[in-house]
Structure 1
Amino acid sequence: MAEPAAVAPQRPPLESQDTLDATQLSGTLGRDGIAALQAGQAALSSVREGTEARDFVPQSQSDAAIMDADVSDDTIEDYDEIELDPDTLVANARKSMNGAYRPAVGPESSVMSTQQPKPGKNGKNGKYGKRGSIQIRLEKTDRKGRYVLTADDPEIREILRQGVEREELEASDKKPRARVRGFRDMVFTRQFTTFDRQNPASSDSPFFGFFTLFWIGMVLMFLQVSLKNWREYGSILGDNEIMKLMNRDVLVLGLTDAVMCAACFEGYLFQLLVRKGYLNWGRGGWIIQNIWQSAYLGGVVGWAYFRDWPWTHTIFALLHGLVFVMKQHSYAFYNGYLSGVYRRKALLEEMLNNLQAMDPVTSPPTSPSSSQFLGQTSSGIDLGDFAKKADSAGIKRRPSMGHRTSTNLQTEKSDVASVAQAIEAGSAIDVDQMQTFERVIKAEIQDLTKELQGKSLDGKNAYPKNLRLGNLAEFICLPTLVYELDYPRQDSINWWYVLEKTTATFGVLCVMMVISQAFIYPAVAKTVRMKEIGMPIEERWREFPFIVSDMLFPLLIEQLLTWYLIWECILNVLAELTKFADRGFYGDWWNSVTWDQYARDWNRPVHNFLLRHVYHSSISTFHLSRNSATFATFLLSALVHEMCMAIMFKKVRGYLFWMQLLQMPLVAFSRSRLLKGRVVLGNVTFWLGLFVGPSFLTSLYLVI
């Protein structure tokens, strides 16, 4: 009789209330190596929130500051918690990240076995390789939920140590700067798009064969339709109506696009006036900029109507015009903010010079002059008490987050304002107080200097050095809508890669034209004929379901190909030509289980723009709540989408507008008990909407 198979030894099960048996843990790590952990996958779910899942995040806060596992509706558009941290251990992250930061994923993670990083395609571990798992140990203590965390790997120990030290250093400074100044720092990292062949995740994906099958299917469909058209019409495009539309007025369209691009340099001239003090951004400069942007967009729309272009030309001009408007807005508003920071820094530097020019009081403490500065000044400031507090507590960095662009120190309430009022009042100041005041001012100046430097680590593009024509021209060409002083760049251009993506661009365009000509144009022509012969609305409405059915699959394929054409081909070409290293143009939107996740992931450049310049700006500038700011963001998006449909079909119906706003209750519904946690049901609901929605809406605009 055969021997029974050996059973792998298993550790005895623990009590259900112990967190050590959980597959995922979150919590905080102190300097003593004691980790305060709790179970909970809700806070770590990457599928539901579209974020990178985190197995363990070292923090140096108190034991009570454990990460909240509940995800509330208020955090739908809040990116405060998903900034990529080099000292954070990330699971399920992009494989383009350094493998040293990747822990185990899957069954191995529970035993935490050690695997060496696999060599990447270039033969190095650091660039494309990944670490299958990391080795750490959790030893129980006498307190529930507290474990001693140790690691044999020196790299992991160093990561944990640096994380703890940095968190302690920044604990007092960690404030939501975006809610104060109206700007959210975008995290730009080196990464590839999901379907890019340079991304190991593309070839290593378990669904790699399905990607190949999809493109084989597209090629075979193209050949089938092309052969049919060649036999019937003598051309692979059939009657070629779409190509005739696209060839009309092409030269004028190109000149129009060049003029739209040149008009973007208004932002450079305008910011020069702000920098030289002819205009004050905070007192009216931003209003002038908004008026210019409105006039710019109105000119684009009016010119498209005047030329009576076909829908292909009209939508291209309109969408490109919207891109230029967003770029102008981001460039102007970020530099406008920095101009206020620059003016405040100059004011504080002048105040520091005045302070250093003062003669400190050297009288003994019992003298009458000493009692003067130990009492209150005419401005109501107790200099002695202020100095004692500053000396005992230390000068905190960023002491006045709400006044980073303020130059009115008379009404401002901050340490710097108190020092300014004391200096202006001419109060007697002793040596110790002068040194304290200098530390306050210098700390603020140092912080403002870092703000002006932004992402420009070498300072070459720090404000106002960035106000150059070349800098703006480069930003216009970069595949991003959010202006920063610097971006991650690659060292050289791969011209073979440019050729590959350019060839793919024209190839996808050919497939799209054939599908449009063969499947979409006949249905559109049918609706036009129904209106031309005067068919009543009742009869047209009876034809409506059949038109929706005829366009279901063609429009879905066109939608997927259009997305692939822009976000995978065109943007990657621009990124390669400009050496732009952050190719995170989209997330895995096809796995969406809620509509807000789809809205975040399918178009990251636009989402990042709305996040910084609409959502966060409306909170900081107009003091809206998170829910109100989310509604304002959806409302603006809905208006823009409806404007595009109105220009394409030359009529205003509002169908897409209301469908866009309907996403908000759908988001709330997806977070209800009925759908929350049901990933498959949520994804099915999402795909049904994406499958039926475009055909349904297009048929509404065509038939009614």
Structure 2
Amino acid sequence: MDGLAQPSRRPVLPTNDTLDAHELVGSIQNDGTASLKPRHDQTTYLPSADTSNSSSSTSLTSDEDIEDYDKIKLDPDTIVDGSSGGPLGDATTDDRSDQDLSLKPSRSGVGHIRKKSDTNTRQLSPDSRRKSIQIRLEKTDRKGHYILTADDPDIRDILRKGMEREEASQDPSKKARSLRDLVFTRQFTTFDRQNPLSAESPFHGFFTLFWLAMVLMFLKVSAYNWREHGSIFGGNEVFKIMFGHDVLILGLTDGVMVSSSVLGFLLQKAIVKNYISWNRSGWIIQNAWQTFFLGFVVWWMFHREWPWTHTIFMVLHTMVFLMKQHSYSFYNGHLSVVYRRRNMLRQKLRALRDMEPIESLPNSPQGISPAVTSAIDQADTHEKKRRPVPLRTSTNLDNETSDVARVALAMESGQPLTLEQMQAFQRIIEEEIAVLDQELKGKAQSDEKSYPNNLTLSNFADWTILPTLVYELEYPRQEQINWWYVLEKSMATFGTLCVMQVISQAYIYPPVAETVRMKEAGMSLEDRAKQMPWIVSDMLFPLLLEQLLSWYVIWECVLNVLAELTCFADRGFYGDWWNSVSWDQYARDWNRPVHNFLLRHVYHSSISAFHLSKGTATFVTFLLSALVHELVMACLFKKVRGYLFTMQLLQMPLVMLSRTKLLKGRNLLGNVVFWIGLFVGPSVLTSFYLLI
């Protein structure tokens, strides 16, 4: 790096400091401080040198290539030494002086700073010198700690990426995940009394206060309804809507809908028996079935003219089982291709073992097939340096360039092989089979639960009632069922539903009935729009309470009951979404099961299958979520207006706004903006659908 030794940029440090070391190693901290120390394995100390006439440069080399500069291949994030700056260039030579410092941030963000003498230095012409970027290394009050700064934005970006990689290497949750890398662990929900953190929370009293207020409001409204109507539910209009029409048909429809999901299991059985190929027609059949599954249920709801209570239950339950079918089929479909590849390689391995080796290959190069030569060369370098392997879901070795593909081509050529070559080929195939075996085992603790042993009716039935939307071969389980806990959560479910019933009857049904009366009276759109502010204000608090109580019933009560009945140990159904400072944080935390599904089967799948960029994949995920939400509203209000669809897509610019200087780092302001949106949004959207 040019300019390191200039007195104007950095004063000369005392010779008894760590800069006297022959080689320094350390890491760049989040605050920009470089923590350096001598490498003790081969450290030598140099005498103090005159820095007035010396030039400094920097070389970025990996540990294995320190002495072999001609083989360096530059990484996009590599800092290269040599000349007066500009874009990074290729290099095949090295230029150093007696005060040379060499820095290379590794993939994990750890930097190596190296100082060498001018021995064995090759002089380069100005045109052949490598590009460089000037940096500054400033001393701090702590021995061995320096502040590494640069005026060039490229070097700052490189250092930032290095620190991000260092954080990712220390935090497994930030690493890139593959298809089966969603982590399931033993944990409790935040408000569960079994969670010790819940009882120890300094805000636990507010949780108690909330439910005390709900009970008091329930008693007050119930007493008023009893005095005026002789029933705690008042006029019982909502109760009559819920249980006065097609209740039996609703139950039968739900039973048929749940039972029909077994077709996905039957399809996977046909695939594993090689009747159908997942890559060719299996995924098409599955997608066609899912489209018919959703379309038929929606048509049936409109055909039966169900009220909103029936509709909201049926459409949500249908979406749950649609996602469950998709996750089950596409994960097992992926494993089916891996399974076919492993079986194919096992056949190749048996064929290789049946071959008779010869003592030596023909001396004439013309007698050796090019396929054999390529495979032999690959086998010779296989142990020295493992090369990247393509996605292990291909069953056509003719269309890929990998170790096993070269071995297969060499075997098919029919050329004789020596015993050493056969052993090398066998080692390559066995290593590939071992990796595929691990892929087929997934998170299962035993081979009995690995693919295809998991394709049983009992496993599918167990998956059907598990409180998760992401299929895995095995989940963490608890030892036994606590039936008192099941009773507690069941009572909480029905108790909360009663509170929601009272709130709906007392505070939501009257303004809704008023909007219906206005439409039936022939009131114009302009006159109805004038009434919108009053309808919105009337429903602000009751809709917020209904939203909170609905979330509590589903994610705290119902899912915990299902988890307890199935001994499902991972109760991470939500995060602390109430502390959200942006809408993307809220989307991640308020509904973890759906977020995990979208992360695996929409976001990552669109990147791997359709090769979309991360930004495009994010937009596709938001778009699909917005379409599903609008479908729910269309079923609920029997019309398509696109209001919720638009509001959902507006979350993307709001997310970008939260990352600007206006809101970034201002958690209180971000949380206030979030709660205002959550408070006002439902009532405004409902008013739009009711009045316009």
- 1:245 and 2:241 equivalent? yes
Aligned ranges for residues 119-518 of structure 1 at < 5 Å?
142=144, 144=146, 178=178, 183-247=179-243, 248-363=245-360, 369-372=362-365, 377-379=369-371, 381-393=373-385, 400-402=389-391, 404-518=392-506
Q: Deviations over 1:451-476 (max 9, x none)?
A: 00111111221011000001011001
Where does residue 557 of structure 1 map in the other structure? 545
Distance 2:510 2:671 in 1: 32
SS in 2 for 1:382: helix
SS in 2 for 1:312: helix
Give, in angstroms, the shift of residue 673 of structure 1.
1.1
SS in 2 for 1:427: coil
Give, in angstroms, the shift of residue 427 of structure 1.
2.2
Distance 2:564 2:25 in 1: 46
Classify 1:40/1:525 alpha carbon distance in 2 versus 1 (closer, same or farther; 3 Å): farther
Where does residue 125 of structure 1 map in the other structure? none
Q: Quick check: 2:641–2:689 contact (8 Å CA) kept in 1?
A: yes
Distance 1:619 1:537 in 2: 45
Give, in angstroms, the shift of residue 400 of structure 1.
2.2
Give, in angstroms, the shift of residue 378 of structure 1.
3.9
Classify 1:335/1:145 alpha carbon distance in 2 versus 1 (closer, same or farther; 3 Å): farther
Distance 2:575 2:566 in 1: 22
SS in 2 for 1:144: strand
SS in 2 for 1:39: coil
SS in 1 for 2:249: helix
Match of 1:64 among 91, 105, 115: 105
Where does residue 606 of structure 2 map in the other structure? 618
Where does residue 677 of structure 2 map in the other structure? 689
Classify 1:656/1:381 alpha carbon distance in 2 versus 1 (closer, same or farther; 3 Å): farther
Distance 2:26 2:238 in 1: 64
Where does residue 689 of structure 2 map in the other structure? 701
SS in 2 for 1:369: coil
Give, in angstroms, the shift of residue 269 of structure 1.
0.7
Distance 1:331 1:376 in 2: 48
Where does residue 596 of structure 2 map in the other structure? 608
SS in 2 for 1:379: helix
Distance 1:414 1:682 in 2: 50
Amino acid of the structure 1 residue aligned with 2:528: R
Q: Structure 1 vs Structure 2: percent identity of aligned residues?
A: 61
Classify 1:700/1:67 alpha carbon distance in 2 versus 1 (closer, same or farther; 3 Å): farther
Distance 1:207 1:66 in 2: 42
SS in 2 for 1:193: coil
Where does residue 3 of structure 2 map in the other structure? none
Where does residue 4 of structure 1 map in the other structure? none
Distance 1:386 1:448 in 2: 20
Q: Quick check: 2:379–2:428 contact (8 Å CA) kept in 1?
A: no
Classify 1:503/1:34 alpha carbon distance in 2 versus 1 (closer, same or farther; 3 Å): farther
Where does residue 29 of structure 2 map in the other structure? 38
Match of 1:590 among 560, 563, 578: 578
Q: Which runs of 5+ in 2 are unaligned?
A: 1-9, 11-23, 33-62, 65-102, 111-140, 149-165
TM-score scaled by length of structure 2: 0.76
Amino acid of the structure 2 residue aligned with 1:202: S
Where does residue 73 of structure 2 map in the other structure? none
Q: Quick check: 2:349–2:429 contact (8 Å CA) kept in 1?
A: yes
Give, in angstroms, the shift of residue 431 of structure 1.
1.7
Give, in angstroms, the shift of residue 617 of structure 1.
0.4
SS in 1 for 2:27: strand
Distance 2:452 2:540 in 1: 52
Distance 2:267 2:187 in 1: 34
Q: Deviations over 1:473-506 (max 9, x none)?
A: 1001000000000000000000000000000000
Distance 2:469 2:330 in 1: 12
Q: Quick check: 2:368–2:415 contact (8 Å CA) kept in 1?
A: no
Give, in angstroms, the shift of residue 255 of structure 1.
1.1
Classify 1:370/1:615 alpha carbon distance in 2 versus 1 (closer, same or farther; 3 Å): same
Amino acid of the structure 2 residue aligned with 1:144: Y
Q: Deviations over 1:216-266 (max 9, x none)?
A: 100000011011111111111000011111112211111111111110110
Q: Deviations over 1:536-583 (max 9, x none)?
A: 111111100000000000000000000000000000000000000000
Q: Quick check: 2:180–2:442 contact (8 Å CA) kept in 1?
A: no
Q: Deviations over 1:263-293 (max 9, x none)?
A: 0110111011111111110012101100000
Distance 1:142 1:644 in 2: 61
Q: Quick check: 1:453–1:462 contact (8 Å CA) kept in 2?
A: yes
Amino acid of the structure 2 residue aligned with 1:191: Q
Give, in angstroms, the shift of residue 407 of structure 1.
1.2
Moved more, 245-254 or 411-420: 245-254
Amino acid of the structure 1 residue aligned with 2:220: Q
Give, in angstroms, the shift of residue 428 of structure 1.
2.5
Larger radius of gyration: 2
Distance 1:283 1:66 in 2: 38
Distance 1:221 1:68 in 2: 57
Q: Deviations over 1:47-67 (max 9, x none)?
A: xxxxxxxxxxxxx99982476
Q: Quick check: 1:281–1:339 contact (8 Å CA) kept in 2?
A: yes
Q: Quick check: 1:315–1:644 contact (8 Å CA) kept in 2?
A: yes
Q: Quick check: 1:369–1:428 contact (8 Å CA) kept in 2?
A: no
Match of 2:664 among 654, 660, 676: 676
Q: Quick check: 1:379–1:421 contact (8 Å CA) kept in 2?
A: yes
Distance 2:549 2:601 in 1: 29
Report the count of equivalent residues: 551
Amino acid of the structure 1 residue aligned with 2:384: S
Where does residue 515 of structure 2 map in the other structure? 527
Distance 1:660 1:341 in 2: 37
Where does residue 90 of structure 2 map in the other structure? none
Q: Which runs of 5+ in 1 are unaligned?
A: 1-16, 18-32, 42-59, 70-138, 147-163
Give, in angstroms, the shift of residue 417 of structure 1.
0.3
Classify 1:141/1:409 alpha carbon distance in 2 versus 1 (closer, same or farther; 3 Å): farther
Give, in angstroms, the shift of residue 588 of structure 1.
0.5
Q: Quick check: 1:642–1:656 contact (8 Å CA) kept in 2?
A: yes
Amino acid of the structure 2 residue aligned with 1:386: Q
Give, in angstroms, the shift of residue 36 of structure 1.
2.5
Amino acid of the structure 1 residue aligned with 2:210: F
Classify 1:145/1:377 alpha carbon distance in 2 versus 1 (closer, same or farther; 3 Å): farther
Distance 2:292 2:531 in 1: 41
Q: Deviations over 1:301-330 (max 9, x none)?
A: 111111111111011111101111100000
Where does residue 57 of structure 1 map in the other structure? none
Q: Quick check: 1:36–1:145 contact (8 Å CA) kept in 2?
A: no
Where does residue 542 of structure 1 map in the other structure? 530
Moved more, 247-256 or 530-539: 247-256
Classify 1:68/1:651 alpha carbon distance in 2 versus 1 (closer, same or farther; 3 Å): farther
Give, in angstroms, the shift of residue 355 of structure 1.
0.9
List, as ranges, runs of 4+ consecutive aligned residues in structure 1 with deviation greater than 4 Å. Answer: 60-63, 66-69, 174-177, 370-373
